[in-house]
Structure 1
Amino acid sequence: MTPFLTRRRLLVGSAATLGAIGLTGCDDVVQNSNVQSVLEMAEQLTIRSQRLLVPKDKLAREFSEADISPTFRPNGTSQPDSEDYARMTENGFSGWRLKIDGLVERPVELSLADLKKLPSRTQITRHDCVEGWSAIGKWTGVPLGPILQSAGLKPGARYAVFYCADELEQTLDGSGTYYESIDLIDAFHQQTILAYALNGKNLEVAHGAPLRLRVERHLGYKHAKYLMRIEIKDTFSGLWGGKGGFWEDRGYEWYAGI
């Protein structure tokens, strides 16, 4: 008998397959319009199915202290290649500010100290990487929804776009700089936090210091590290490849829900 294939395993497996395509021949995928069309149709089906089957406020599984992984492997970049970022680390991120702008009534800039004064949330969750590994960690940070609400979302606001300090490719137009995005449904989910601590300690550089996104119902590449700016937008037009993220511009699916 064929083993029962859970919905979660199906989604993770599909994303992992797409990840393998992206790592070994992403340009071929992007340049092949037929393949790209099929992927985009499949992604729309995934989004609709996820929204239909999973209540918007349903929580990702949380674990106990005893379940925390002895080591938590960094995902993506472990050391941004940026002189500006190097200076920030030398100063303990004292000059770092998170900018929130775009379709908001009151653009703001928040220091790490400002964020740590706000009500926090701690959650022990599992990080699932598209490369096929998982780890459980305890994250502490500020829920994103209330921050966006305090900035005053304008009519038409639909997406939160996260700009990061790490540059994965040297490009003249900035398209090699890491960025990600989520819609406001996920932005206001109670487990979506701007995390500044892992396992009771301030984030290390390898894990995204000083601040990273934790959006627990998505695969790991959505959890943007080294956050510098959040822009609220109504569309992805004007964002480099127009797909809503660094890897998405290179063939990955935008909605990586699990």
Structure 2
Amino acid sequence: MSFDLTRRRFLIGSGVAATGLLTGCDALVENASINDVLQKAESLSMGAQRLLMSHQPLAREYTEADLSPVFKANGTSQPDSEDYARLMESNFADWKLVVNGMVQTPLELSLADLKAMLSRTQITRHDCVEGWSAIGKWTGVPLGLVLQKAGLAPGARYAVFHCADDYEPSLDGSGRYYESIDLVDAWHPQTILSYSMNGKDLEVAHGAPLRLRVERQLGYKHAKYVMRIELVDSFKNLAGGKGGFWEDRGYEWYAGI
């Protein structure tokens, strides 16, 4: 869940460095005409990348010899809530992933339930928009299998990940982090709900008990502390309506790499 200035703003000439004046950039995206250009640029970027990726559908995978000695834990290092503290005390034995919204069969899956499903292990590079990268080994259940188990209702277009971590008060007043991807990325074989990193259960700083890995997008899309997956047909009823915590503050929704 890395965050900083978006690459899109740089590429279209915002003139602000990636580690610099975020307030100035937010002022830019409040301008309706500039925001319209940004949205069009994002759509063009997404379309171009998906055309290219149709011939190279997988992000590059590495070997254990390539694992980074240090993998930075970015964003929230531990959700600050009594509910999450109680889950930690029980080693997440009482935690359940809720899958609801536009599904045929709402689900509540324990960590044991998820670990009993078919898993995938992949060694990939995490690219943060702040400019750093690290290679880690992730194991989890493919998101597509969970969605298949729930069954999608007609019209469902996006999977929204509601998380346990808080930042500043969000646009809906909750402060809760959330992210979303469309069903193209949701069904991609490397999009997994990861419960293990480098052969061990996820540490709290890395998103325990469950985090999203969507390997063809930048780090801030990899939501940590996932509590609920909601299937929706649009973002209009979600916080700022842009599909993610940082997207509501001007970041690009499609963060493909």
Which residue of structure 1 aligns with residue 81 of structure 2?
Answer: 82
* CA offset digits 1:197-236 (Å, max 9, x no partner): 1000100010000000000000000000000000001111
TM-score normalised by structure 1 residue count: 0.90
- Alignment partners' CA distance in 1, 2:204 and 2:74: 11
RMSD: 2.3
Task: Compute the displacement of 1:90 (Å).
Answer: 1.2
Maintained 8 Å contact 1:30/1:36: yes
% same residue = 67
Shift of 1:150: 1.4
Deviation at 1:86, TM superposition (A): 1.2
Asked if the contact 2:59–2:124 (Cα under 8 Å) also holds between the matched residues in 1, the reply is yes
Question: 1:168 is matched with which residue?
Answer: 167
Q: What is the CA-CA distance between 1:34 and the residue it aligns to?
A: 2.2
Partner of 1:196 in structure 2? Answer: 195
Question: Shift of the alpha carbon at 1:173?
Answer: 3.3
Q: Partners of 2:117 and 2:9 in 1: how far apart?
A: 34
Return the alpha-carbon distance in structure 1 between the equivalents of residues 171 and 248 of structure 2: 16
Give the residue type in structure 1 aligned to 2:245: F
Q: State the partner residue of 2:33.
A: 34
Distance 2:169 2:92 in 1: 24
2:156 aligned partner: 157
Give the TM-score normalised by the residue count of structure 2: 0.90
* Stretches of structure 2 lacking an aligned partner (at least 5 in a row): 1-6
Residue 5 of structure 1 is matched in structure 2 by none
Check 1:70–1:139 CA distance in 2 against 1; reply closer, same or farther (3 A cut).
same
Q: Give yes or no for contact 2:8–2:252 (8 Å, CA) kept in 1.
A: no
> Is the 8 Å Cα contact of residues 93 and 210 (structure 1) preserved in structure 2?
yes
The residue that corresponds to 2:103 in the other structure is: 104
Return the offset for 1:83: 1.6
Structure 1 stretches of at least 4 aligned residues deviating more than 6 Å after TM superposition: 10-13, 15-18
Q: Report the counterpart of residue 137 of structure 1 in structure 2.
A: 136
Displacement of 1:11 in angstroms is 7.0
Aligned to 2:68: 69
1:194–1:88 Cα change, 3 Å: same
Tell me how far apart the structure 2 counterparts of residues 106 and 68 of structure 1 sit (CA, whole Å).
39
CA distance in 1, matches of 2:72, 2:252: 23
